[in-house]
Amino acid sequence: PLGMAVFCLLGLGVLYHLYSGFLAGRFAFFMLSEPAAAGPETPRGSAPAGAVDLRELLAVSVLAAARGGEEVKRVREGNVLNAKAKGKTREGAEEQLTTGDLLSNRRMFYLLKGAFPAVQINSEERVDTAEQETVPWDRSIPEDIKQKIQPKEVPAESVTVWIDPLDATQEYTEDLRQYVTTMVCVAVNGKPVIGVIHKPFSSYTAWAMVDGGSNIKARSSYNEKTPRIIVSRSHAGKVEQVARQTFGNKTIIIPAGGAGYKVLALLDVPEKNQEEADVYIHVTYIKKWDICAGNAVLRALGGHMTTLTGEEISYTGSDGIEGGLIASINMNHKALIEKLPDLEKTSHK
108 with 249, same domain?
no
Among 215, 235, 262, the domain boundary falls at 215
Could you give the CA distance from residue 313 to residue 9 in angstroms, rounded to a whole number?
77
Residue of 101, 205, 246, 307 marked catalytic:
101
206 with 62, same domain?
yes
Domain of 300, CATH number, reads 3.40.190.80
Q: Is 138 a catalytic residue?
A: no
203 with 249, same domain?
no
Whether 44 is in a domain gets the answer no
Annotated binding site for Mg(2+): 124, 164, 166-167, 290
**What three-state secondary structure class fits 233?**
helix
71 with 164, same domain?
yes
Could you give the CA distance from residue 155 to residue 197 in angstroms, rounded to a whole number?
25
CA angle 172, 178, 184 (to 5 degrees): 75
Phi, psi of 110 (to 5 degrees): -75, -25
62 with 181, same domain?
yes
194 with 108, same domain?
yes
What's the longest Cα–Cα distance across the chain?
A: 117
194 with 72, same domain?
yes
Query: Which range marks the domain in which residue 147 is found?
Result: 51-215
209 with 277, same domain?
no
Tally the domains of the chain: 2
Whether 200 is in a domain gets the answer yes
Check: CB of residue 96 under 8 Å from CB of residue 85.
yes
Q: So what's the pLDDT on residue 234?
A: 84
pLDDT in tens, 170-203: 999 999 999 999 999 999 999 999 999 999 999 9
Residue of 98, 99, 169, 251 marked catalytic:
169
Q: So what's the pLDDT on residue 24?
A: 43
Pick the closest to residue 76 from 143, 188, 171 (CA basis). Answer: 171
Annotated binding site: 124, 164, 166-167, 290
74 with 94, same domain?
yes
DSSP 8-state code for residue 312: B
pLDDT > 90: percent of the chain: 60
Higher pLDDT, 187 or 272: 187
Whether 38 is in a domain gets the answer no
Could you give the CA distance from residue 267 to residue 302 in angstroms, rounded to a whole number?
11
DSSP-assigned beta bridge partners for residue 287: 320
149 with 274, same domain?
no
CB neighbourhood size of 181 (10 A): 33
Q: So what's the pLDDT on residue 340?
A: 77
Among 198, 215, 232, the domain boundary falls at 215
Q: What is the pTM of this model?
A: 0.83
Among 186, 215, 244, the domain boundary falls at 215
Distances (CA, A) of 255 to 161, 185, 297: 29, 24, 22
Whether 115 is in a domain gets the answer yes
Could you give the CA distance from residue 75 to residue 53 in angstroms, rounded to a whole number?
33
Q: For the chain, report the end-to-end CA distance as a whole number of angstroms.
A: 103
Q: Is 169 a catalytic residue?
A: yes
pLDDT band at 89 (very low <50, low <70, confident <90, very high): low
Whether 152 is in a domain gets the answer yes
pLDDT in tens, 294-319: 999 999 999 999 999 999 999 998 89
SS (H, E, C) 223-251: CCCCCEEEEEHHHHHHHHHHHHHHHCCCC
Domain of 86, CATH number, reads 3.30.540.10
Whether 27 is in a domain gets the answer no
Strands 286-287 and 267-268: unpaired
